[in-house]
Amino acid sequence: MSLLQQTTPARLTEPATRKLPRLALLIVGVLYIFAGLFFRDPWKTDDLTGLATMLDAYRESAWLLPQIGNFAFAQEGPLSTWIGAISIAIFSPLFSFFTDPLSAQITAARLPNILYFFLLLWGIWHGTYLLARRPECQPLPLPFGGEPHPRDYGRMLADVAFLFIIATIGIIIPIHETSPFPLLLALFSIAFYGFARMLDHPIQGSVILGLSLGGTLLTHGFIGAAPILFMIACALVSTVYTTRNKLAFLIAIFLGAGCFLAWFIPAKASNSYWASSWLYWNYSSFGFSSLQLFFKSLRDLLWFTWPTWPFALIALWNWRKWLRAPHIFIPGTMALGSFLTIALVKSAFEPEYAMLTVPFAVLAAMSIPTLRRDIINTQDWFSIMILSLSMIAVWLGWIALHFGWPEQINHNITRLLTGYEPQISPLVVIAALAVSILWYSMVSWRLRINPQALWRGLILSAAGLTCTWLLLALLWLPSINYNRSYKLVSNELAQALESYVKPGECVREQGFGMGQRAALRVFDNITFTYDSACKLVLLQTTRKHLEAQTLPYTDNTRILWQGSRKSERDEIFLLLRLDK
């Protein structure tokens, strides 16, 4: 039986597809990405690591191969480094008129995140719109008419997918960091649009898909490209695409491979050690992890992709007879390819989880017209309850920090912020109150008007999460910055090195993680030697080892300097001089 002859599970009337004001979408998107992006230090680990490679590309002209000082950062890929460094080169001179050079460079490095975010939204919206207008996706015709026009129906589902991605909890922090994460997310969204575009414009879609494939290879290596290659393989053996469409996939494959080889061949010729290390990182990342790690990733995924994953599963079930239809096949194979990649990566985390958020948001949108009204109303009430409680918790914690009540909450918070002196800014408090009033107004509107449009619950979820993020950025950004920044300890170390390191002497490190190495490079341009004969050692260790005197160096060793972040209860840095 043809797909068009089957009874569609989507049932709704024309009023349910009422247009969501474009200004509302724009306001939600702008507030979402700008809150927490600027006016803070870079945080450990990915935020600092990505920024360090960008600054080295800009300062040291390390464009071809990402570096952190003299450390070969042979992971991920160079694309986010290139874009960030170009942004620094273009915009930091302008920002330097208003702030110090380092702050200007950090601000400039974060500007591409705005581009990535809106590319993410653009790809999801337009890809969903193309699929939702197709005849296989249309709702059941009503006996006396009144079903929505395909254009209005497509726009409504595209709006819902837009709101679902904004409402996804897991992406809200990493999308504000100078790491490959936001670029990878944007590339997956554009790749999804490319697959959808190929159905009616094969050449245009294949070029978009090929550039996205090349971009993922240059952003997250073979891991990032694996789900897209899986989708191409599924498309070539499916009946979704015509023979002409399938031939166009060759353009995408050659274009993606060409983008990758245009970088990798010169990289290998320039530094074979770096290129070999990068290939090793890719190959060693794949493998079967233990069941314990797999179930941990599965648990994290349920949180990371909330609230889209339940709706995505509902869509797959309700549209199970339409698995060969493009509006289910394309996001479905993307979700399956992403999930298999996560399962086959030894230590899957946020960059890998990000690959699932795009197809889950699209599938979740496809579930909305198949749901009963009571389920949609339940979603509304759940959003109102959870997000309102979250905002109350943000306010309660802020009150406890500044006024000491409730005492137990104050105790728990101050333990994490040792040495922090909270200050109240009247303007910040007024802005936070305005955000809270805005949320109250939206909830009041929802309960009073009870609109029929299917996006009503999702606008509460997306706007509510955005309001919660705004409250966190307004009320908690200084204290979070204090807790997660390495700026002060890096400045102290730089002064110690200036005092204790004699001309011609070198310093090596031991026990350093990538985030700490990047922090010292970003804030004070500190780098280390690999010479094992060097008599000065900067050691990262723990207070427990220091108190138990179980350090790697004990005999004939002097501690020249000792430092740590004031909010850190365990990590400690020691500058040692080895007398022998």
Residue 567 has pLDDT above 90, yes or no: no
Whether residue 258 contacts residue 113, with contact meaning beta carbons closer than 8 Å, is answered with no
Q: What is the pLDDT of residue 390?
A: 92
Residue 146 has pLDDT above 70, yes or no: no
Q: Are 495 and 466 contained in the same domain?
A: no
Domain final residue pick, 425, 454, 484: 484
pLDDT grade for 554, boundaries at 50, 70 and 90? low
In the block, residue with structure tokens 């109350």? 392
For 270, counting Cβ atoms within 10 Å of its Cβ (0-12 exposed, 13-18 middle, 19+ buried), the class is exposed
- Average pLDDT, stretch 396-416? 89
Q: Are 493 and 473 contained in the same domain?
A: no
Whether residue 157 contacts residue 132, with contact meaning beta carbons closer than 8 Å, is answered with yes
- Tens of pLDDT, residues 340-373: 999 999 888 888 999 999 999 999 999 988 887 7
Residue 78 lies in a domain: yes
Q: How many CB atoms lie within 10 A of CB 514?
A: 17
Q: Are 405 and 532 contained in the same domain?
A: no
Domain final residue pick, 366, 383, 400: 366
Residue 431 lies in a domain: yes
pLDDT grade for 250, boundaries at 50, 70 and 90? very high
Q: What is the pLDDT of residue 304?
A: 94
As a dihedral over the C-alpha atoms of residue 211, residue 215, residue 218, residue 222, rounded to 10 degrees, the angle is: -90
Residue 577 has pLDDT above 60, yes or no: yes
In the block, residue with structure tokens 């990649």? 341
The token duo for 23 is 């200004």
CA pair distance 403, 427, nearest whole angstrom: 18
**Residue 218: closest CA among 404, 75, 361:** 75
- Bigger pLDDT: 267 vs 414: 267
- Bigger pLDDT: 211 vs 415: 211
Q: What is the pLDDT of residue 379?
A: 74
Q: Are 351 and 405 contained in the same domain?
A: no
Residue 174 lies in a domain: yes
- Average pLDDT, stretch 554-579? 82
Poorest-confidence range of 206-215, 234-243, 443-452? Answer: 443-452
- Bigger pLDDT: 71 vs 430: 430
Q: Which residues of 340-368 are buried (b: 16+ CB within 10 A; e: fewer)?
A: ebbebbeebebbbbbbbbbbbbbbbbbbb
Poorest-confidence range of 9-18, 182-191, 280-289, 300-309? Answer: 9-18
- Report which listed range, 13-17, 170-174, 551-555, is most confident: 170-174
- Average pLDDT, stretch 308-314? 93
- Bigger pLDDT: 150 vs 187: 187
Residue 33 lies in a domain: no
pLDDT grade for 6, boundaries at 50, 70 and 90? low
pLDDT > 70 fraction of the chain, expressed in percent and rounded: 96
How many structural domains comprise the chain? 3
Q: What is the pLDDT of residue 291?
A: 78
- Tens of pLDDT, residues 524-535: 998 888 888 888
The token duo for 384 is 């109102």
pLDDT grade for 540, boundaries at 50, 70 and 90? confident
pLDDT grade for 580, boundaries at 50, 70 and 90? low
Whether residue 84 contacts residue 219, with contact meaning beta carbons closer than 8 Å, is answered with no
Q: What is the pLDDT of residue 510?
A: 86
CA pair distance 100, 461, nearest whole angstrom: 38
CA pair distance 54, 45, nearest whole angstrom: 15
Residue 274 lies in a domain: yes
Residue 5 has pLDDT above 60, yes or no: no
Q: Are 212 and 233 contained in the same domain?
A: yes
- Tens of pLDDT, residues 201-211: 999 999 999 99
- Bigger pLDDT: 228 vs 5: 228
State the DSSP code for 239.
S
Q: Are 51 and 180 contained in the same domain?
A: yes
Q: Are 293 and 417 contained in the same domain?
A: no
Q: What is the pLDDT of residue 4?
A: 55
Residue 508 lies in a domain: yes
Average confidence score pLDDT of the chain: 89
Question: What are the φ and ψ backbone dihedral angles of 537, each rounded to 5 degrees?
Answer: -125, 130
What's the pTM? 0.93
| Bridge partners for 68 per DSSP | 71
Residue 59 has pLDDT above 60, yes or no: yes
- Tens of pLDDT, residues 452-463: 777 777 888 898
The token duo for 549 is 């005197």
Q: Are 456 and 512 contained in the same domain?
A: no
Domain final residue pick, 366, 398, 414: 366
Q: Are 459 and 512 contained in the same domain?
A: no
Residue 130 lies in a domain: yes
Whether residue 25 contacts residue 461, with contact meaning beta carbons closer than 8 Å, is answered with no
For 290, counting Cβ atoms within 10 Å of its Cβ (0-12 exposed, 13-18 middle, 19+ buried), the class is exposed
Domain with 212, as residue range(s), is 3-23+40-366
Residue 144 has pLDDT above 60, yes or no: no
Whether residue 104 contacts residue 92, with contact meaning beta carbons closer than 8 Å, is answered with yes
Q: Are 200 and 63 contained in the same domain?
A: yes
What single string gives the DSSP state of each residue in 455-475?
A: THHHHHHHHHHHHHHHHIIII
Residue 145 has pLDDT above 70, yes or no: no
Q: Are 238 and 302 contained in the same domain?
A: yes
CA pair distance 150, 513, nearest whole angstrom: 54
Residue 559 has pLDDT above 70, yes or no: yes
pLDDT grade for 405, boundaries at 50, 70 and 90? confident
Residue 269 has pLDDT above 90, yes or no: yes
Q: Which residues of 141-151 are buried (b: 16+ CB within 10 A; e: fewer)?
A: eeeeeebbeee
Residue 3 has pLDDT above 70, yes or no: no
Q: What is the pLDDT of residue 358?
A: 96
Q: Are 338 and 384 contained in the same domain?
A: no
Residue 32 lies in a domain: no
Single-letter residue type at 214: G
